[in-house]
Structure 1
Amino acid sequence: MRIRPVATVAAGALMGLSALALSTTVAQAAPSGRTPVTVAHRGASSYAPENTLASIDAADRRGFEWVENDVQRTKDGELVILHDNSLARTTNVEQVFPGRSPWNVADFTLKEIEKLDAGSWFGPKFRGERVPTLEDYMDEVENNDQSLLMELKSPELYPGIERQTLAELRRAGWLDKTHVKRHLIIQSFNADAIKTVHRLRPDVKTGFLGNPSVADLPKFAKYCDQINPVHTAVTPEYVAAVHGLKGPHSRPLDLYTWTVDDPATAVKVAALGVDGIITNKPDVVRDALGGSDD
């Protein structure tokens, strides 16, 4: 029998007590009395290459319903899932297509992008993973019975992408009453894009990525259901200001914060009353809060 040193036992006990104390703090301090929704950022992107089918499958295996992604458009008008405007960081595009710097998504056709490896950069076990189309991505999310926080990435580069994305969602069956009510939110850093989504489909929940001033929040409440700031901008006063307004569906605005990957920050923002936490490490957040993903 292995005897653990007294110091190690004591440290483990203290860590256990600390975790219990943190979870208790969340339960007592969160104004809503509810654990925030955990959203897997670009899928479970600490465990699989971001914005791939592997990443949303990794989130699903860990028991997470909500995933986040980024939508962009190819040169020939196809919608694909990728965070950066350039393909360089997360694919082997520099080797496959040398001399085409800066390797922007908008400069490549879908057929060209389908030739790229979007997994090897993350680890050899993901070699051959592809940049998914929005159609393929939605099929996988549906097969996993997951929900989607969709970001329109740099919509100013892709005129009309709001209408095109909604059309794709409609073809995939994601604009029916059930999906719209329970499984879909569309967000962007671009306020005009969110206004357009709301105008085209006022039933779809929308979120603005950023932290508008408290004075400007009523303007956003006309077309946003959520205000989604970086976690460093979350304060008790800001959360109260957001929750004090009703959005276009006559419900108090939600606040989802990003990108939170450590237990202490997760506990802090949960205690401030945020409604959702967007994270690369959803299991870390879930464990810190002592609850499920929803």
Structure 2
Amino acid sequence: MHARAVAATTTALLGTAALLLPVHDARAGIVARPAVIAHRGASAYAPENTLAAVDEAASRGVLWVENDVQRTSDGELVVIHDDSLRRTTDAEEVFPGRAPWKVKDFSAAEIARLDAGGWFGPAYAGTRVPTLKQYVDRVEHHHQKLLLEIKNPGLYPGIEAQTLKVLSNEGWLDQRHLSGRLVVQSFSAGSLRTVHDLRPAVRTGLLGAPPVADLPSYAGFADLVNPSHTSLSRSYVDAVHALTGPHGRRLEVFAWTVDDAATARTVAGYGVDGIISNRPDVVRRAVYWF
């Protein structure tokens, strides 16, 4: 599908979805229809964390995409999940003497040479590892929202400020984006606290499921708590929702990673605000009315 047609189709579908979503009100017993987030893009259908995966999510009418950000040896931010290039590129063949092929040990130009799609299927051979700039520009092209994970921040001192700089340069820190189109998440509470201190207006999400007793300590700088669906219960979601975050709104919950309809309906029944999925179309059909 042509990119312009994809964008138009996406906008129409998402407008319909917004009209169908009821307002969440736990006291009234209403179950929210959660947002659906394409994990590493629509990664069941295209190679993860690539522009092709963003396009695939858009073609399926998915509003949110999730990605992972790491840094090259010469300071470029790139979108890739593992701290090694080995699993999702041909780095082992192109650079046979560079084991263990850590992202941080390769320049941006070297990574740009790698095939990040051939492992997924012949149709994607030659797909590249995108820079963060390229990725956010593609998300913007499709009028989507972004759940951005700062991956392994301990390996990359200062990556929080650098990530925010790229987002700012690409227009993602204006009010239109900050009000509902961007969340920065991490497993590192310290990294999120840094993001919040540098740009208090940016919404942040803590990955994992901290004990309920510890949740208030995160509410000063985190707007979401994003656990694995296997660690969830309705009581845990209610405990998160009972807290007010740094922007004066109740904390939210995005659960990961759900790929089948039955689990999606169960997790939605807990009252989560979002479900992260490699198969976002499957989840959307399960929890929406269409």
Under a length normalisation based on structure 1, what TM-score does the superposition of the two structures give? 0.88
Contact 2:32 2:272 (C-alpha < 8 Å) held by counterparts: no
The list of structure 1 runs, each at least 4 consecutive aligned residues, that deviate by more than 2 angstroms after superposition, is: 27-34
Task: Give the 3-state SS of the residue equivalent to 1:268 in structure 2.
Answer: helix
Whole-Å separation in 1 of the counterparts to 2:203 and 2:240 = 16
Matches within 5 A, 1:158-177: 158-177=156-175
Residue 18 of structure 2 aligns with which residue? none
Contact 2:65 2:147 (C-alpha < 8 Å) held by counterparts: yes
Task: Give the 3-state SS of the residue equivalent to 2:254 in structure 1.
Answer: strand
Aligned with residue 224 of structure 1, among 212, 222, 225: 222
Task: Give the 3-state SS of the residue equivalent to 1:250 in structure 2.
Answer: coil
Whole-Å separation in 1 of the counterparts to 2:39 and 2:119 = 18
Percent identical: 59
Offset from partner CA, 1:115-168 (integer Å, 9 cap, x none):
000000000000110000011111111111111000000011000000000001
Whole-Å separation in 1 of the counterparts to 2:197 and 2:108 = 29
Structure 1 residue 33: Cα displacement: 3.2
Matches within 5 A, 1:190-205: 190-205=188-203
Whole-Å separation in 1 of the counterparts to 2:95 and 2:119 = 16
Q: Which amino acid aligns with 1:178?
A: R
Task: Give the 3-state SS of the residue equivalent to 2:179 in structure 1.
Answer: helix
Residue 49 of structure 1 aligns with which residue? 47
Contact 1:31 1:271 (C-alpha < 8 Å) held by counterparts: no
Q: Which amino acid aligns with 2:247?
A: H
Residue 137 of structure 1 aligns with which residue? 135
Residue 179 of structure 1 aligns with which residue? 177
Structure 1, gaps ≥5 residues long: 1-26
Offset from partner CA, 1:177-232 (integer Å, 9 cap, x none):
00011210000001100000000111110000000000000001110000000001
Residue 84 of structure 1 aligns with which residue? 82
Residue 152 of structure 1 aligns with which residue? 150
Task: Give the 3-state SS of the residue equivalent to 1:145 in structure 2.
Answer: coil
Residue 279 of structure 2 aligns with which residue? 281
Task: Say whether residues 1:73 and 2:79 are aligned partners.
Answer: no
Aligned with residue 256 of structure 1, among 254, 257, 261: 254
Structure 1 residue 28: Cα displacement: 12
Aligned with residue 210 of structure 1, among 201, 208, 222: 208
Contact 2:71 2:156 (C-alpha < 8 Å) held by counterparts: yes
Structure 2, gaps ≥5 residues long: 1-23
Task: Say whether residues 1:104 and 2:102 are aligned partners.
Answer: yes
Coordinate RMSD, CA, aligned: 1.5
Contact 2:31 2:269 (C-alpha < 8 Å) held by counterparts: no
Whole-Å separation in 1 of the counterparts to 2:29 and 2:185 = 25
Contact 1:229 1:256 (C-alpha < 8 Å) held by counterparts: yes
Q: Which amino acid aligns with 1:214?
A: V
Whole-Å separation in 2 of the counterparts to 1:291 and 1:163 = 41
Task: Give the 3-state SS of the residue equivalent to 1:182 in structure 2.
Answer: coil
Task: Say whether residues 1:123 and 2:101 are aligned partners.
Answer: no
Task: Say whether residues 1:247 and 2:245 are aligned partners.
Answer: yes
Whole-Å separation in 2 of the counterparts to 1:28 and 1:199 = 31
Structure 1 residue 290: Cα displacement: 3.0
Q: Return 74-83 or 31-40, whichever deviates more.
A: 31-40
* Distance of aligned partners of 1:28 and 1:246 in 2 relative to their CA distance in 1, 3 Å threshold: closer
Whole-Å separation in 1 of the counterparts to 2:157 and 2:29 = 40
Whole-Å separation in 2 of the counterparts to 1:222 and 1:33 = 27
Whole-Å separation in 2 of the counterparts to 1:163 and 1:32 = 40
* Distance of aligned partners of 1:31 and 1:45 in 2 relative to their CA distance in 1, 3 Å threshold: farther
Structure 1 residue 31: Cα displacement: 4.5
Bigger radius of gyration = 1
Structure 1 residue 32: Cα displacement: 4.6
Whole-Å separation in 2 of the counterparts to 1:32 and 1:217 = 24
* Distance of aligned partners of 1:57 and 1:31 in 2 relative to their CA distance in 1, 3 Å threshold: farther
Residue 11 of structure 2 aligns with which residue? none
Whole-Å separation in 2 of the counterparts to 1:135 and 1:148 = 13
Residue 113 of structure 1 aligns with which residue? 111
Offset from partner CA, 1:236-260 (integer Å, 9 cap, x none):
1101100000000111100000000
Whole-Å separation in 1 of the counterparts to 2:32 and 2:234 = 16
Under a length normalisation based on structure 2, what TM-score does the superposition of the two structures give? 0.90
Q: Which amino acid aligns with 1:288?
A: A
